[in-house]
Structure 1
């Protein structure tokens, strides 16, 4: 019995060590991918949404945190994250930027076909995303009421995780 317990404890320590290493590796990759995103004042973001609405990040942020979502129609991870962003857009201030996803009509069709309802600025050349230092999609930036970057995450994330980050931002 003691031998079995020792083997289980050893296996658990090995698994815990592997899990810690995996978390550290994923975190390091995420930080590397986000290295050019400003950590203080958010870059300007003003534009007309595909639906015709004028979106101004600084103006929106004066009323509280804004979630800025950089995504693409061709991004596999975005297919998982976008529905959560659409849900959050009903409760929070959200601006999305469609990175190199084609014409406004193409992006509009994609949003309609996937039942995604969030305000989207089209970035066909990638100029907006480049100004923000975005290297991968999806990238989510939460900007606080002072216009400063409060949170940055890349890759998959959950609606719950984003709600928590928004709640922790003034």
Structure 2
């Protein structure tokens, strides 16, 4: 009898936690664009052109807004870096210094993803960013299919990419 009650209590707690996390994520992403993704055509920290709309012709694209000073980003960034080996990823480093500082941070932490630097926050503001980390999934039609803020796992991000196909 106690086991059944414990399982029920645990299920209630998990449901409540999922609802709270979903509500907080929705609140933080409420100003993010919906529908067609805004144009993103800029040079990355290595001087290479990054063109979001051209990339979507090859499938979904994960856009990762992060910062070197963000504690949660230290947990999410390695998962995004792992995904970048097999998926299209654009990262946007928010107010994290100049290109050389961002590149040094990525090298130190072994992060291998394309990064557009946003030293003033202007790009992030134009996307309605409220909090880091934030992940936006743009599908192969150029439509925003998912936005999530805060902690995210590699498996959760992979599922969102899979659903965007």
Judge same fold: TM > 0.5, yes or no. yes
1:130 maps to what in 2?
Answer: 125
Shift of 1:14: 2.7
Q: Deviations over 1:29-60 (max 9, x none)?
A: 11000001112111111111101110010111
- Larger Cα Rg: Structure 1 or Structure 2? 1
Using the size of structure 1 for normalisation, the TM-score is 0.92
The one-character-per-residue Cα deviations of 1:123-158 (angstroms, maximum 9, x if unpaired) are 011111111111111111110111110111111212
- 2-side partners of 1:89 and 1:14: how far apart? 39
Aligned-residue Cα RMSD (Å) equals 1.2
By how many angstroms is 1:66 displaced? 0.6
Distance 1:67 1:93 in 2: 6
Q: 2:62 aligns with which of 51, 64, 67?
A: 67
Identify unmatched segments of 5+ residues in structure 1: none
Alignment correspondent of 1:18: 13
1:154 aligns with 2:149: yes
| 1:167 and 2:162 matched | yes
TM-score under structure 2 length normalisation: 0.94
Structure 1 residue 119: Cα displacement = 0.7
Is 1:112 the counterpart of 2:86 in the alignment? no
**Distance in 2 between the 1:9 and 1:54 partners?**
57
Cα separation, 2, equivalents of 1:58 and 1:12: 47
Change (3 A) 1:146 1:15: same
Structure 1 residues 1-20: Cα deviation after superposition (integer angstroms, max 9, x where no partner): xxxx1x44333333322221
What residue in structure 2 maps to residue 38 of structure 1? 33
Structure 2 Cα separation of the partners of residues 117 and 137 of structure 1: 19
